[in-house]
Amino acid sequence: MAQRDKFYINGEWVAPVESGRTFPVVNPATEEVMYEIALGSAADVDRAVAAARAAWPAFAATTREERLALLERVMQVYRKRMKDIGRAISDEMGAAQPFAERIQAGAGLGQIMTVYDALKTYPFEERLKSAMITREPIGVAGMVTPWNWPLNQIGCKVAPALAAGCAMILKPSEYTPTSALIFAEVLDEAGVPPGVFNLVNGLGPDVGVALSSHPDIDTISFTGSTRAGIDVAIRAAPTVKRVSQELGGKSPNIILADADFEKAVTGGARHCFNNVGQSCNAPTRMLVPADRMKDAARIAAAVADGLKVGDPNEAGTDLGPVVNRTQWEKIQKLIEVGVEEGATLAAGGPGRPQGLNKGFFVRPTVFADVAPEMTISREEIFGPVLSIIPYASEDEAVKIANDTPYGLAGYVSSGDLNRARNVARQIRAGNVNINGAGNEQHAPFGGMKQSGNGREWGRFGIDEFIEVKAVSGWGFED
């Protein structure tokens, strides 16, 4: 039973300093309150930071082998709790049950496994001529994670911090708290030393602000909206702490004229609708040759119309609801704006899917003939909405792709691999995928421009929790 009324601090489940502050967790498929969680305050953050600060020196002194053994135990316990984690994610953010367990919970385990592999050869010491370059844990880390991929984002922060030798305080999303509480139970059972990992539930204006501005926190790792990321950076600035951010996106998917068109459009549409469109790197802007617009709209509409939207627990469901009413209303408004601004509605549209009278369900929606200046082409919708944009030349496609304040991901399809590589080099994004390839988890993940800074995953994730020191004269004899 998850400890929803307590926080995990210094290896124990403890009551909040201020009692009575709670947050209702709503099942997005039923719109019913399932339970309430305790909300923390700056005082709870102070307790957690003090515990982390006290635990850090001993944990920083552990060896690579000791941390590898710890991560191995974490993975063993995590595997035992996969069904519990998947169930919690499905109930709280609406993912279809098989997807929640296999993909959502599986992504968190995958992050830990990747860091485990990276830690085996991570260069904590490196000779550079007469100097020794040492990579040391930065200290105490604050972490703020989102609701859309809760365990993936927790895994890609906590695992590298443990590998680096840091202590940490996690604030998970208030919309998906249970999977994070189960994760705390996993770390406790695996034997993470008291104080090394701490969890405080709460709201951004309370716990998030306290973490960002806390003088005894050395780095903040934040995943969320660009608006919130800006606030985190501003509050962190007076203490000159490091800030790593993975923020919003409006990722372009350039389908070149020589691509396998049916395959590329189908795959791009499916990827856009994956996780009900609630992924910051979703390929929501599909760019196609202008003379293939009708074909693209037809193929993408067939994908949208073929998806079963409904109860996450029902067999055969492809897409559950979006996470909450606020998101649902935002998505509905942007779909309506797309219609008002003159885009062609090829599939879906406003309102719930037929037969669903409650729950935050969204019709998978495809807009064709979208102009680059339209609202749906520029704003992050964070729902199952695809915009198909025509282009006249390859150069124009690249120009449209880069005409955005975001730069998290990009996608290119072509029958000529060298041509695809050339376009990929021109896209201003932290991650570019060619011909439907999935992300390589050992490669870095992160954004450019207003999609953030810093990198996660594998050894690049470990780097974010490391300070680099140069010891000159190391190679000289006295």
Catalytic residues: 246, 280
327 and 383 Cβ atoms separated by less than 8 Å: yes
Question: How many CA atoms does the CB half-sphere of 206 hold within 13 Å?
Answer: 20
pLDDT for 2: 76
**What DSSP state is assigned to residue 275?**
G
- Identify the three-state secondary structure at position 372: coil
pLDDT per residue of the chain (478 residues) written in tens, 0 to 9: 678 999 999 999 999 999 889 999 999 999 999 999 999 999 999 999 999 999 999 999 999 999 999 999 999 999 999 999 999 999 999 999 999 999 999 999 999 999 999 999 999 999 999 999 999 999 999 999 999 999 999 999 999 999 999 999 999 999 999 999 999 999 999 999 999 999 999 999 999 999 999 999 999 999 999 999 999 999 999 999 999 999 999 999 999 999 999 999 999 999 999 999 999 999 999 999 999 999 999 999 999 999 999 999 999 999 999 999 999 999 999 999 999 999 999 999 999 999 999 999 999 999 999 999 999 999 999 999 999 999 999 999 999 999 999 999 999 999 999 999 999 999 999 999 999 999 999 999 999 999 999 999 999 999 999 999 999 999 765 4
What one-letter code names the amino acid at 364? Answer: P
Check if the beta carbon of residue 456 is closer than 8 Å to that of residue 114. no
The two tokens of residue 164 are: 């680096």
Distance (Å, rounded) from C-alpha 478 to C-alpha 469? 21
Per-residue buried b or exposed e for 446-469, using 16+ beta carbons within 10 Å of the residue's own CB = bbbbbbbbbbbbbbbbbbbbbeee
Task: Give the tokens for residue 29.
Answer: 């498929």
Residues sharing a CB contact under 8 Å with residue 170, sequence separation 6 or more, in sequence order? 143, 145, 154, 157, 158, 180, 197, 198, 199, 200
Q: Are 351 and 363 in contact (CB under 8 A)?
A: yes
Cα 230 off chain centre by: 17
Residues forming a β-bridge with 141: 168, 219
Phi, psi of 390 (to 5 degrees): -85, 150
* Residue position matching structure tokens 């050339």: 422
Query: What are the φ and ψ backbone dihedral angles of 244, each rounded to 5 degrees?
Result: -115, 130
Report the half-sphere exposure of 127 (CA within 13 A, side-chain side).
Answer: 6
Q: Which of 268, 347, 356 is nearest to 312 (CA)?
A: 356
pLDDT of 314 reads: 95
Structure token digits, residue 259: 């691509």
| Triad 274, 278, 283: Cα angle to 5° | 60
Tokens of 239: 């203490």
**Is the C-alpha dihedral spanning 153, 156, 157, 162 positive or negative?**
positive
Q: What amino acid occupies position 84?
A: D
Instruction: Report the alpha-carbon distance of residue 443 to residue 365 in Å, rounded.
Output: 32
CA distance linking residue 264 with residue 329, whole number of Å: 31
Residue of 350, 405, 377, 408 lying closest to 286 (CA atoms): 377
Whether residue 93 contacts residue 176, with contact meaning beta carbons closer than 8 Å, is answered with: yes
DSSP SS3 for 298 = helix
